[in-house]
Chains A and B, each alone.
Chain A
Amino acid sequence: MKRYLFIISRTPYGSTHALEQLEAAMVAAVFDGRVAILCRDQGVWNLQGNQDGAPQGQKTVSRVLAALPTYDIEELYVCADSLSSQQIQPDASLDIKPLTFVEQQSLIAASDVVITAQP
């Protein structure tokens, strides 16, 4: 079983980056991978509370994130530095763990595959 890390680094509604990363993460979980997700840089906006994707005709990204445990994706991390610099108030329904830079290094090192889909 491979350990996958998906890094989300862009805002939820400015592009399809976040939703497409999450789709790939769910497929990896279905393939019996152990999947972790790390939001960092502008990607921390995906965790912001009170989101509604409907005006954009999109899924609400924070709700997709909240549904990840049903896909056996239990590890949702956020860069602590990005979280404070962007002043995000995370959605209360999300179980997220802030990580320091050193902890993010360890997470990346411990993963077999890192998928950034960097635009």
Chain B
Amino acid sequence: MNYALAVHGAPYAGTAADHALGFAWALLAEGHRIERVFFFHDGVYQGLAGQVAPQEHFDTDLLKRWQQLARQGIELAICIASGIKRGVINETEQSRYELAHPSLAHGFELVGLGQLIAAINAADRYVEFPA
């Protein structure tokens, strides 16, 4: 089956990313497809560059794990409206708003909210990972 996933929680603040990553890898292992992972609300912080995993999470570096997923060809899509107001910006938004530097981690992209709905429409199942 084809799945659309949405992540609403910030890194290390709850179980959203851990559960979403575990679920995503399980889907791929079972031969399912992932249409897109959409990061919404505080979930956009998952794509913030420069995260340092806390020591008690030393073997669960979330950003690295997302980037591993991206290398499997999975699209990691950050809601642009949720992202820019929290400072998660790519080079385009950095120059548009004349900010000091981009902050979007490698492997992620900024997209419109329409991409969440498009992913849900294309998928057989939609699964949310709350904060």
Known contacts A2-B120, A113-B120, A118-B8; A23 and B113 CB within 8 A of each other: yes
How far, in Å, is B82 (CB) from chain A's closest CB? Answer: 7
CB <8 Å contact, A33 and B117: yes
Measured between alpha carbons, how far is A17 from B40 in the docked complex, in Å? 11
Residue numbers in B under 8 Å from A119 (CB-CB): 8, 41, 130-131
A28 contacts chain B at the CB level, 8 A cutoff: yes
B68 contacts chain A at the CB level, 8 A cutoff: no
Measured between alpha carbons, how far is A31 from B130 in the docked complex, in Å? 24
CB <8 Å contact, B113 and A116: no
A24 contacts chain B at the CB level, 8 A cutoff: yes
Binary CB contact string for chain B from 98 to 131 against chain A (1 if under 8 A, 0 otherwise): 0000000000000001101110110000101011
How far, in Å, is B77 (CB) from chain A's closest CB? Answer: 14
CB <8 Å contact, A113 and B41: no
Measured between alpha carbons, how far is A31 from B120 in the docked complex, in Å? 11
Q: Determine which of B40, B82, B117, B126 lies in contact with A31 in the assembled complex, contact meaning CB atoms within 8 Å.
A: B117
CB <8 Å contact, B128 and A24: no
Q: Determine which of A2, A16, A27, A30 lies in contact with B116 in the assembled complex, contact meaning CB atoms within 8 Å.
A: A27
B49 contacts chain A at the CB level, 8 A cutoff: no
CB <8 Å contact, A31 and B81: no
Known contacts A20-B41, A117-B8; A27 and B117 CB within 8 A of each other: yes
Residue numbers in A under 8 Å from B121 (CB-CB): 2, 31, 33
Known contacts A2-B120, A20-B82; A118 and B114 CB within 8 A of each other: no
Closest-by-CB residue of B relative to A24 is B113
Given contacts A20-B40, A117-B128, 7 further A-B contacts (CB under 8 A): A24-B40, A27-B117, A30-B114, A31-B114, A33-B121, A118-B130, A119-B131
